[in-house]
Amino acid sequence: MATSSANTVRAVWALCLLVGTSFHIVDLVRSGGAYPGYPLGTVVFWNALTVLDPLAAALLFWRPRHGVLATLAIMLTDVAHNVWAVVTYDAWVWPVAMQTAFLAFVLFTAHLIWRVPPRQAG
C-alpha cells in the first residue's frame, strides 16, 4: 500500500513539475529568455527552472530521495523568489498561489516517497 501511495504521489509531483516546465518553456519562447525588466538573477533562475523541473521529475522515479530533495529545493526557492517578485515587481499572483499550493502538497506528502525502500523505488 505504501508503495502504491508513493507511486501516485510521485506521478502527481512529476506532472506538476512538468506543467511548470511547460510554463517556463512558453515564457522562454515569448521573452527570448530575457524577461525584460527583471534583474539578471531572476532571469537566470527562471530560465534554469526549464531544466531543473524536468530533472527533478525524472529523479522522482530514478532516485526518489534525490527527487524529493530536488523538488523541495526547487519549490521552496521558487515560491520564496516569486513572492518577492510579486511584491517587488507587481508580478502575477495566481501562479504563485498555485506554486504555494503545490509546495504545501509536497511538504505534506514527501514522507510517502522518502519511506519507500530503494529496491521498491523504480
* The pLDDT of residue 1 is above 50: no
Share of the chain above pLDDT 70, in %: 94
* The pLDDT of residue 121 is above 60: no
Grade residue 33 by pLDDT with cuts at 50, 70 and 90.
Answer: confident
What's the CA gap between 5 and 110, in Å, rounded? 11
What's the CA gap between 9 and 116, in Å, rounded? 12
Query: Can you give the pTM of this predicted structure?
Result: 0.91
**Dihedral, CA atoms, 98, 50, 91, 40, nearest 10 degrees?**
150
Can you spell out the DSSP letters for 8-33?
HHHHHHHHHHHHHHHHHHHHHHHHTT
Report the pLDDT value the prediction gives residue 93, as an integer from 0 to 100.
Answer: 87
* The pLDDT of residue 122 is above 80: no
What's the CA gap between 47 and 95, in Å, rounded? 16
